[in-house]
Structure 1
Amino acid sequence: MKVLPIVWQRLVTADGETCERCGNTYLEMVHAVEILRQELHPLGIEPVLRTKTISENEFKAHPEESNRIWIGNKALEEWLDAKAGESQCCAACGDANCRTLQLDAVEYEAIPQQLILKAALKAAAMLL
C-alpha cells in the first residue's frame, strides 16, 4: 500500500487551546481523511494524517505556519494554485494575524473539506 502523507500543524497554547479556525479546519480534515481512506483504498493508497503543534513562542515568530497543511510533501496551496493570506483571528492568536487560504476571489479562514479532498486527489494521482 502506498502512503499519502498529510501533515497539518496549528497553534496550541500552554492551556491546550487553539483558535476557532484551526479547530474547524481539524474537523474538516478528519472528515476528508475518512473519505480519502474509502476512496483511495481500492487504488492501493493509504492517507496518513499527522498533526503537529506550534507553541506560542513559535507562533509569535511565524504566525503564518499555523493552520498549515501539506499533502504528499507539498503545501496545500501549491496543489490548488492558491495563496496563503492572513487575517485577525481570536484571543488564542493574540495580536498576530492567523493564516488564511486565498483561492480565486475567496478567502478561507478554516480550510473546507472539499479543498482538502481536491488537493489530496491531485497528490494521489501522482502516486499512481
Structure 2
Amino acid sequence: MDGLDAYDEIRSWSYQWIRIYKKNGANAAQWHTAVLSQAENLNQFDPPLMFAEVQAISKSVAKWVWQRFTERHFSALQSVRGKRGGRPKSTTKEGEPWKTLGLSRATYYRRLKSGLLIPDQH
C-alpha cells in the first residue's frame, strides 16, 4: 500500500465524521488533530508511511474537507443520491419496457443481449 491508499482511507473517514465534529462545535485545529490521529491509526501498511507523509496527507484532507463540506453540501449530495437510487433493481429508469412490448422481463433482457431487440424500440 502507498500514500494514495492512505489518502483514500483518510478522505473516506473524514467525509463520515466532519458533520459530527462541526455539530459538536469543533474548530479547524481540533478537526485537524482528529484527522491526524485517525491517519496515524490507519497507517498499518507494510512498511508504514513516514510520519511526515501521514502528516502531509492528513493536513491536506482536513483542510479541504473543513473548508468545503457543509450541511448544505451534504443535503444536496443526499438529494442527488436519492434521485439516482431508490428504484427496485428490476425497474429501469424508463420503467418496465418489457411490459410495453408484451414480453417477460427475462425474455426482454435475453433478446436485448443477443441483439434481437434494439434498446431504442422501447
Larger Rg, first or second structure (1 or 2): 2
With the length of structure 1 as denominator, give the TM-score of the two structures.
Answer: 0.25
Higher percent of residues as helix:
2
Bigger relative contact order, structure 1 or 2, given CA contacts below 8 A and separation 6+?
1
With the length of structure 2 as denominator, give the TM-score of the two structures.
Answer: 0.26
